[in-house]
Amino acid sequence: MQKGWRVVAELGLGILRARGTDAISFLQGQLSNDATRLETGRLQLSGYHTPQGRAIALLRLTPLAPDDVLAILPRELVPLVITRLKRYVLRAKVQITDESLQWQIRGYQGPAPAVPAGALCLPYGSSRQLVLIPVSPGPPQAGPPSLPEADAVAGTPGDWAASDIAEGLPQVYPPTSEAFVAQMLNLDFTGGIALDKGCYTGQEIIARAHYRGQVKRRMQRFISEMPCDLKPGQTGVLSDGRGFKVVEAAVHADGHCEFLAVTNLEPEVAASAQTHNLITARQLELPYELPAPRA
């Protein structure tokens, strides 16, 4: 993880495309946010859940046209999400395709860069941009495509992940797909849930968790007290006895690992005697305040 980076050229993201006269209504019935409120030039965070409310993937959506939507998510999850969504198309007039090869995706820190014609520059988080550049048809080019800014300081996927961690922004990867209920990922604090919309897959469980306030495990931010290299999906035990599962992690230059993990909001009554996978870590603040669990 480095300071002063400007652009990450490979984020490991892919693109799902939904288009057709029923594209918006179809997404409205599948995702946790309100697809009718999509705005051109903006990203909308939304969760795709199982009927039990567990997040299969997190999508960041933006409209290309009124009936044409791009959804950005980890590339490895695109085929899975497409397969599951297609089960529910039935007679809806919507096509769902993998457009990952039709776009280059880059992440920028700071002001929006100058981008080629036809590219999309979409605000992400508090100070970043996702840039989507359409790939020209024809034979593949030799070598990587040129950057919109030739003198941009290159960063790494770890730098991007570190910014997500600092901002408390969740992500779901194959090892964590279906591992967490929506509120465990703080989707209700990061704009990923619309409680005033109609039914969607998993809505009953998600709404019940909200109105009854029964979420005792949430995503929180930590930094290890010793060098380690945690990965999404990895489990462990904090020194106060709380078991955790990693959502996102990034290693600092000194080897210490900063990470988001889902764990109890309150320490265990008695610290666990278990030493296997014990992680000594200091809790860090999130940019939003989590609620105390109700008794």
What rounded mean pLDDT belongs to the chain? 91
Residue 199 lies in a domain: yes
What's the token pair of residue 230? Answer: 């945690």
The amino acid sitting at 153 is: V
Residue 161 lies in a domain: no
Count of helices and strands (H, E) across the chain: 4, 15
Domain that holds residue 216: 174-284
Q: Which of 179, 196, 158 is nearest to 235 (CA)?
A: 179
pLDDT score recorded for residue 152: 80
CB 171 within 8 A of CB 72: no
Residue 225 lies in a domain: yes
Where is average pLDDT lowest: 57-66, 105-114, 145-154? Answer: 145-154
Residue 245 lies in a domain: yes
pLDDT band at 143; cut points 50, 70, 90: very low
pLDDT score recorded for residue 142: 45
Scanning the structure block, which residue is given the tokens 């009953």? 204
User: Who wins on pLDDT, 222 or 1?
Assistant: 222
If asked whether residues 78 and 138 sit together in one domain, one would say: yes
Tell me the Cα Rg of the chain: 20
Residue 76 lies in a domain: yes
pLDDT score recorded for residue 76: 98
Q: How far apart are CA 108 and CA 8, in angstroms?
A: 6
If asked whether residues 197 and 135 sit together in one domain, one would say: no
If asked whether residues 263 and 130 sit together in one domain, one would say: no
Q: Which residues contact 29 (CB under 8 A, 6 or more apart)?
A: 88, 198, 199, 200, 201
If asked whether residues 52 and 96 sit together in one domain, one would say: yes
pLDDT band at 138; cut points 50, 70, 90: low
Percent of the chain with pLDDT over 70: 91
Structural domains counted in the chain: 2
pLDDT band at 202; cut points 50, 70, 90: very high
If asked whether residues 111 and 202 sit together in one domain, one would say: no
Residue 157 lies in a domain: no
pLDDT tens readout for residues 17-34? 999 999 999 999 999 999
CB 221 within 8 A of CB 127: no
pLDDT score recorded for residue 146: 55
If asked whether residues 41 and 102 sit together in one domain, one would say: yes
If asked whether residues 56 and 118 sit together in one domain, one would say: yes
CB 101 within 8 A of CB 135: yes
Beta strands in the chain (DSSP E): 7-8, 13-19, 44-49, 55-65, 68-74, 95-98, 103-109, 120-124, 128-134, 217-227, 235-238, 243-251, 256-264, 278-279, 281-284
If asked whether residues 13 and 137 sit together in one domain, one would say: yes
Residues 137-153 have a mean pLDDT of 60
Q: Is 144 a residue whose pLDDT tops 80?
A: no
pLDDT tens readout for residues 263-281? 999 876 544 445 567 899 9
CB 122 within 8 A of CB 215: no
pLDDT score recorded for residue 147: 57
pLDDT score recorded for residue 25: 96
Residue 159 lies in a domain: no
What's the token pair of residue 218? Answer: 């949430």
Whichever domain contains 232, its CATH number is 2.40.30.160
Residue 35 lies in a domain: yes
If asked whether residues 145 and 11 sit together in one domain, one would say: yes
pLDDT tens readout for residues 247-268? 999 999 999 999 999 999 987 6
